């Protein structure tokens, strides 16, 4: 850590302690975490992604292993911005949401599965935008995946049986 960064962290910690309600441990270890984001004004959130708290992603037909963390907003009332972490070779079943959704795939090759079963392999670092009620499935490739997702409304999840897969012309190499 640079000297300037260390000094800045010390000043921020002191300010938090003076405001009250925080322990010295919270002041140094919690700054920038999802539960204690930095903010320099109204409606600002700055979060160190190495300090987020992961929870299991739960839902019908969702196997254990998928995890979620809320960065901003509420799953119950929306809008909500979150990160999803998937283990290697993990499949999120065919599902839809009543909200539109915007994905930014940060890490890991994956396969997008359309409602008709068309499976398209894509690299990490992919942007996707889906309208409400669009059935789709996702399969993480041979390395763990990390994605950012934004829902403009309440987060809900309706699952469907997986269709018979059809390979598309594109492939992510897995």
Residues 23-63: tens digit of each pLDDT: 444 444 567 777 778 888 888 888 999 999 999 999 889 99
Query: CA 136, CA 89: separation in Å to the nearest integer?
Result: 17
Query: CA 103, CA 136: separation in Å to the nearest integer?
Result: 13
Report yes or no: 33 and 16 within 8 Å, Cβ to Cβ: no
Report yes or no: 72 and 150 within 8 Å, Cβ to Cβ: no
Strand partners, 38: 46
Write down the domain spans for the chain: 49-167
Query: CA 57, CA 8: separation in Å to the nearest integer?
Result: 36
The pLDDT score that the predictor gives to residue 15 is 37
CATH topology for the 49-167 domain: Jelly Rolls (2.60.120)
Which residue, chain included where needed, has tokens 């390979």?
167
Report yes or no: 52 and 69 within 8 Å, Cβ to Cβ: yes
**Residue of higher predicted confidence among 61 and 169:** 61
Q: What is the reported pTM?
A: 0.76
Query: Residue 26: which H helix or E strand, with range?
Result: helix 24-29
């Amino acid at each position: 850590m640079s000297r300037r960064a260390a000094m800045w962290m010390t000043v921020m910690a002191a300010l938090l302690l003076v405001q009250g309600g925080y322990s010295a441990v919270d002041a140094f270890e919690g700054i920038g975490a999802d539960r204690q984001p930095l903010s320099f004004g109204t409606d600002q959130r700055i979060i160190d992604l190495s300090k987020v708290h992961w929870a299991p992603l739960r839902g019908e037909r969702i196997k254990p292993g998928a995890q979620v963390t809320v960065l901003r907003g509420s799953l119950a009332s929306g809008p909500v911005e979150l990160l999803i972490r998937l283990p290697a070779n993990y499949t999120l079943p065919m599902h839809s949401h009543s909200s539109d959704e915007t994905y930014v795939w940060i890490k890991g090759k994956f396969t997008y599965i359309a409602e008709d079963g068309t499976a398209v392999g894509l690299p990490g670092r992919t942007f996707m935008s889906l309208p409400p009620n669009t059935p789709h499935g996702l399969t993480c490739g041979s390395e763990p995946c990390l994605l950012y997702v934004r829902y403009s409304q309440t987060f809900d999840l309706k699952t469907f049986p997986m269709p018979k897969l059809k390979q598309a012309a594109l492939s992510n190499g897995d």
